[in-house]
Amino acid sequence: MKSEIIKSLLGILKNRTLVLFLVVMLILDIVCSIAVSMQITPSEITVYSRYTAFGQVHFYKDHWQYLLLFSGFFTLVTVIHGALMNLAQQAAYARKLAKRY
């Protein structure tokens, strides 16, 4: 397992385009997380947090701490996209090797 992780990381470092995309995604994640976090103001007022088609009200309110989850969501999306880009790169490399032999 450890050797597979090391091979994967070395494969990522060999592909400059993939490294560039991962770095840009990481920078965008940090910028978006900071921008969203800076706009949150602590208060006792509840904010709209979700919408549903069920019930009489349709909009549900929650405390302002709920908005902090958006920065965590940006990070989660970055990690998932990075993993998918890595898998796509590995699949393309495997296809390239299969054509060669």
What's the confidence (pLDDT) of residue 58?
73
The structure tokens listed for 41 are 């103001």
E runs forming strands in 1-101: 47-51, 59-62
Report whether 46 contacts 62 (CB < 8 A): yes
What's the confidence (pLDDT) of residue 1?
77
Render pLDDT for 23-82 as a digit per residue (tens, 0 to 9). Answer: 999 999 999 999 988 887 777 677 777 777 776 667 777 777 777 888 889 999 999 999
**50 or 98, greater pLDDT:** 98
Residue 93 main-chain phi, psi, to 5 deg: -65, -40
Q: Domain segments of the chain: what residues?
A: 2-100
